[in-house]
């Protein structure tokens, strides 16, 4: 054991030294490739586009603005920014305008239908964006898979139906990574989505199109899903709010790929919003009947909460070190909480976090559902990843390199059976530690990602950096990603707010406080 510890320390030292040499060179190479040709989206100026979903619904209901005018404004903005960022992959503008017109006619009638009250339809007339992996009736539902090019949804996914019942109007679906299993949103069917603050940078994945179009001013609220950080990383890279709900709080049905077994326990559906005030009402609607079991309406006194802060994962071998600007931003959050609410933020160390990736991978590997290679073939047989890699070299494959790589890793999973058992045992002990620490009123501050938004394709050199978000999927805990302004390079900063299971309202309450202090979303180019 002593020899193993010495060996691990030596490897960590070598990798750290190589990182200091390699990372700046890599950044410089990508900078040369992308910086001069990059741009950003134009600033949002129209007042309608600057409102929260909650505010828009109130103004539509009180007839301060027409639902059609709201929808037309967002459609125009999508048409303006989408050629720059490629976030929206399909639209239903005509149908959405008709639905908005119907709302206006009902509201203009002499007697208001009780079904259109604020309680029944809190998002009345609000334009809604949806991750393309979710079923929206009549819209593509491919998850970026070429073989599913002509596949359209026949019915709405439950969360889409819930938000429509609450008055929201879906008008576009947005881009994803292939089969929603990589943290850059790019695929052979729709192409690549670019960051609104710097088009040479990634938007994250797999809900990257959602976070991008919301940050670009093309929407205020959308639906994402998260199996390893697929809501929180895009929200972080695009400077918006994203919430990974508690395990089982929001129905996951109506998505492709279809999660099953342990994958279903890791997957979480939740809202991505430009403004924090929309997180809780959106989550309440998306939870459906489960909302009755959660304390969404409970008032939160931040002075009564226990706060903890962890500034890195403790030194995982193959995960990047935290960017100094992200560390500084987290310290500012700590200072704000301590000075404003007179609380003590305890700095803690959980040594097991350095094994985050191993624990998440072990949970994913324990699934006995459909394999990734089968999904690559649309469940009609399975793809041979070795053959696909050979075809990719000659640019003949219909699959992206990250998808092929995951297929190759899957084929070697049997080699990890022993280490997976050990990782699951470590996860069990970490879960107990966090439960004891958080209790019923605990909040943990933790980085969302170790690096600011990377350049396109750069994640291929840092494939395991999603460990900072993935660990909370393995633990099943609710997490809110909160934007904290921009870095010196003009890229979004952010932080994860973690709390105990079924205490989603606590992390969202903290998110609202941080929005007030740090400004939340920043208008690109303004």
Q: Which residues are catalytic?
A: 131, 206, 230
Query: Which two structure tokens, joined as six digits, stand for 81?
Result: 């920014």
CA distance 40 to 29: 21
Which of 255, 238, 94, 90 has the alpha carbon at shortest distance from 173?
90
CA distance 59 to 69: 12
CA distance 268 to 399: 25
Sign of the torsion angle spanned by Cα atoms 378, 405, 238, 75: negative
CA distance 522 to 201: 17
Helix (H) or strand (E) run with residue 191 in it: strand 191-192
Q: Residue 116, Cβ neighbours under 10 Å: how many? A: 16
For tokens 């001069």, the residue is 36
**DSSP assignment string, 105-134:** HHHHSSS--GGGSTTT-TTTT-EEEEETTB
Query: Which two structure tokens, joined as six digits, stand for 190?
Result: 């729709």
CA distance 209 to 272: 11
Burial of 368 (0-12, 13-18, 19+ CB in 10 A): exposed
Query: Which two structure tokens, joined as six digits, stand for 428?
Result: 């069990």
CA distance 10 to 55: 56
Angstrom CA distances, 208 to 177, 186, 220, 398, stand at 8, 9, 15, 20
CA 325 to chain centre: 21
Query: Which two structure tokens, joined as six digits, stand for 10?
Result: 């030596």
């Amino acid at each position: 054991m002593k020899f193993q510890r010495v060996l691990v320390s030596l490897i960590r030292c070598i990798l750290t030294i190589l990182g200091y040499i390699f990372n700046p060179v890599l950044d410089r190479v990508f900078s040369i490739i992308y910086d001069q040709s990059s741009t950003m989206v134009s600033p949002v100026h129209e007042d309608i586009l600057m409102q929260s979903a909650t505010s828009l619904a109130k103004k539509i209901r009180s007839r301060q603005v027409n639902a059609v005018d709201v929808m037309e404004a967002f459609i125009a903005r999508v048409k303006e920014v989408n050629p720059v960022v490629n976030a929206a992959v399909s639209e239903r503008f005509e149908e959405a305008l008709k639905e908005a017109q119907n709302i206006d006619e009902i509201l203009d009638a002499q007697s208001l239908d009780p079904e259109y009250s604020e309680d029944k339809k809190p998002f009345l007339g609000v334009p809604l964006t949806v991750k393309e992996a979710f079923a929206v009736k009549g819209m593509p539902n491919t998850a970026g898979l070429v073989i599913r090019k002509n596949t359209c949804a026949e019915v709405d996914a439950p969360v889409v139906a819930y938000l429509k019942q609450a008055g929201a109007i879906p008008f576009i679906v947005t881009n994803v990574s292939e089969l929603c299993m990589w943290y850059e949103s790019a695929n052979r069917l729709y192409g690549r989505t670019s960051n609104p603050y710097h088009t040479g940078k990634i938007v994250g994945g797999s809900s990257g199109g959602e976070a991008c179009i919301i940050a670009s001013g093309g929407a205020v609220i959308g639906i994402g899903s998260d199996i390893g950080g697929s809501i929180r990383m895009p929200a972080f890279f695009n400077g918006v709010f994203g919430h990974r709900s508690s395990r089982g709080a929001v129905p996951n049905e109506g998505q492709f790929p279809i999660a099953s077994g342990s994958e279903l326990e890791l997957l979480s559906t939740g809202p991505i919003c430009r403004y924090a005030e929309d997180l809780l009402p959106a989550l309440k609607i998306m939870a459906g009947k489960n909302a009755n079991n959660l304390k969404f309406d409970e008032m939160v006194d931040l002075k009564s909460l226990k706060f903890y802060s962890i500034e890195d994962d403790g030194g995982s071998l193959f995960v990047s070190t935290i960017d100094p600007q992200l560390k500084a931003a987290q310290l500012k959050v700590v200072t704000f909480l301590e000075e404003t609410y007179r609380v003590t933020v305890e700095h803690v160390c959980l040594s097991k976090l350095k094994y985050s990736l191993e624990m998440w991978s072990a949970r994913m590997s324990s699934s006995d559902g459909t394999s990734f290679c089968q999904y690559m073939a649309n469940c009609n047989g399975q793809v041979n990843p070795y053959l696909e890699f050979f075809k990719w070299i000659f640019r003949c494959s219909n699959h992206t390199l990250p998808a092929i790589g995951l297929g190759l890793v899957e084929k070697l999973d049997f080699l990890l059976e022993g280490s997976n058992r050990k990782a699951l045992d470590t996860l069990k002990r970490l879960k107990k530690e966090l439960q004891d620490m958080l209790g019923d009123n605990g909040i943990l501050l933790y980085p969302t990602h170790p690096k600011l938004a990377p350049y396109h394709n750069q994640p291929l050199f840092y494939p395991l950096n999603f460990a900072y978000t993935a660990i909370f999927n393995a633990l099943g805990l609710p997490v809110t990603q909160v934007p904290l302004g921009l870095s010196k390079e003009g890229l979004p900063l952010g932080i994860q707010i973690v709390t105990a299971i079924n205490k989603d309202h606590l992390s969202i309450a903290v998110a609202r406080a941080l929005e007030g202090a740090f400004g939340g979303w920043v208008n690109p180019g303004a």
